[in-house]
Chain A
Amino acid sequence: MSTPALVTRALSKSFGSLAVTQNVEITVPHGARYALIGPNGAGKTTLINLMTGLIKPDLGSILLNGEDISALEPDARVKRGLTRTFQINQLFPNLSALEAVTLAVLERQRTSGVWWRRLPAFGAAIEEAHAILQSLRFGSDTERVTRELPYGRQRLLEIALALATKPKILLLDEPAAGVPKDESAELFQAIAALPSDITVLFIEHDMDLVFRFASRIIVLVAGAVLVEGTPAEISADPRVREVYLGKGHRHG
């Protein structure tokens, strides 16, 4: 098979005496839909922060399409195709949704440094931003400032900003966090409808969604990988039931 999309080798990180990431070795093949699950404080977001370069690992390396990206800054990793979304909205409150996504498109095209031409001259970027928002069924509020958008739309905008970077690998940190259950399934439909050449690794607490949308599941406990497998294997694994699904399930 071809080189995997994303590989972590012996990734480790400690904050003082607290080991938040311990010798994590993950291999995500091209086009896969992986879920990263684990109890609160298992180090899931930390792992995404390490992969995207927001924090530096104490040990280990990260490979993107076989290339070591451990030394690259976060924006350089995005340029290589590794993009994330945030569990807590990280948006641009006083920009409209369309402006924000247009900005992300311009950054990808490396035209964001152009100061001598006005924005209307970049019609193709604006149209692409509009198309991205519509592909997520964002609706007609694209010109409203972000802070006035309903929360569900803001979560869509989180994903739209990431898509505008044309990611090869998309890391979604609880994309449906705070979204009502009926809407969160809809949101995951949009994620499932992403082109199959985009590799997706997502963190999610709702097991129904995980089992529906993930091809494989990685279980993280106390900063280390406990087990990795297909949804069927994971749901049958007694260790997972013990630490994650709760002891009630053993008898139920």
Chain B
Amino acid sequence: MTIAAPPYSLVAAFAERSRWRAIETVLWLCALLPFWLAPTHLQLASQIAITALFAISLDLILGYAGIVSMGHAAFFGLGAYTAGILSVKLGWGEPISGLLIAGLVAGIGGYLSSLVVCRFRHLALIMITLGIGVMLHEIANTSHGLTGGADGLQGIRTWKFLGVWSLDIYGYVAYSYALIVLFACFLVARRIVQSPFGLALKGIRENALRMPAIGAPSQSHLRKIYTIAAVMAGMAGAVLAQTTETVSLEVLSFQRSADVLVMLILGGTGRLYGGMIGAVIYMLARDHLSGLNPQYWYFWIGLLLIAVVTLLPNGILGGLARVRALNWIREMRLMPRRRAA
């Protein structure tokens, strides 16, 4: 038997897996490109950043804990309406505190629904999340006095950011703000998935039956991540409300829940960047294709979705990772030959 490697290298292997990679720096620098390359499209870039944050929040529960939600827009909408109502009804338009309050309200909503949601799995779970989403949509629809109902919430005034920058028509401030919130939440999400808690979530995803048998309180783990994901979704919604200064019922729609699921699956679940890549592709495709033909652009999304799940079951990023792994295997096979040569 070979002598086992000394333990310190084991810890190093864990550290290596969670190292910040050069490609990540490149990707985040790419997120700054719109400021120079597409200064007329910064509003779109801002929407993409918001959607990417929403997708990351879904990845935390779907990609890591295995909770398939069809009603994640509930928390996005809760955050958007909280930020909006703060300004319209209470006259408070300070964006940073508004963002935190929106996250808090969405988190409370997330925790309360987790008490029911996390007891179930599979089809029942999908239906419960769907049901909660639809219910919240109808509550917002009928609470005309508070939410503006189907007319949407008008008259939001977002104060200057840090008392200095006010929103401009090009979207410089909007995109900067959305990008900063996205990056901050991404760092938190990244830390979570690399922590002991993140490992426990993967354990639940990999084998929910075994977890209690190693003494794991799966239910409380699930409630916790569901709440954290709701906070992040709520913050994404708040950024949308604050930067567009309007909230429509669409933020709570089933369509939004379904769209973010599609983006995440396109990009690849369980790797954080998957949701972001998916959001970029989806939003750019929507912008481009709906410009060509406003009615039928979803046809192409449908085709892309089918192509990805049949050809790349782990999404676009999963496919890329596999290509890299194949290259690596090929190199490993070539090595002995090289040595012999």
Chain B positions within 8 Å of A74 at CB level: 212-213
Candidates A92, A93, A102, A107; contact of B215 at CB < 8 Å: A107
Q: How many A-B residue pairs have CB under 8 A?
A: 144
B214 and A165: CB pair below 8 A? yes
Known interface pairs A117-B195, A127-B7, A130-B4; A92-B203 also in contact (CB < 8 Å): yes
Known interface pairs A104-B215, A127-B7; A119-B195 also in contact (CB < 8 Å): yes
Which residue of chain B is the closest to A85 with respect to CB atoms? B213
Chain A positions within 8 Å of B12 at CB level: 120
A84 and B195: CB pair below 8 A? no
Tell me if B40 is interfacial: C-beta within 8 Å of chain A: no
A112 and B224: CB pair below 8 A? no
Tell me if B14 is interfacial: C-beta within 8 Å of chain A: yes
Chain A positions within 8 Å of B191 at CB level: 115-116, 118
Chain A positions within 8 Å of B195 at CB level: 114-119
Chain A positions within 8 Å of B7 at CB level: 123, 126-127, 130-131
B14 and A119: CB pair below 8 A? yes
Number of interface residues of A (CB under 8 A): 51
Tell me if A14 is interfacial: C-beta within 8 Å of chain B: no
Chain A positions within 8 Å of B210 at CB level: 86, 90-92, 161
Tell me if B33 is interfacial: C-beta within 8 Å of chain A: no
Which residue of chain B is the closest to A52 with respect to CB atoms? B213
Complexed CA–CA distance, A203 and B207 (Å): 23
Interface string of A169-200 (1 = CB under 8 A from B): 00000000000000000000000000000000
Tell me if A148 is interfacial: C-beta within 8 Å of chain B: no
Complexed CA–CA distance, A119 and B196 (Å): 6
Q: Which chain B residues numbered 176 to 229 have a C-beta less than 8 Å away from chain A?
A: 191-192, 194-200, 202-203, 206-207, 209-218, 220-221, 224, 228
10 A-B residue pairs with CB within 8 Å: A75-B218, A78-B215, A92-B206, A102-B199, A103-B196, A103-B216, A111-B196, A114-B197, A115-B198, A118-B18
Q: Contacts A84-B213, A140-B1 known; list 12 others, CB within 8 Å.
A: A75-B217, A83-B213, A83-B214, A90-B213, A93-B207, A95-B203, A98-B10, A107-B200, A113-B220, A126-B7, A130-B4, A162-B213
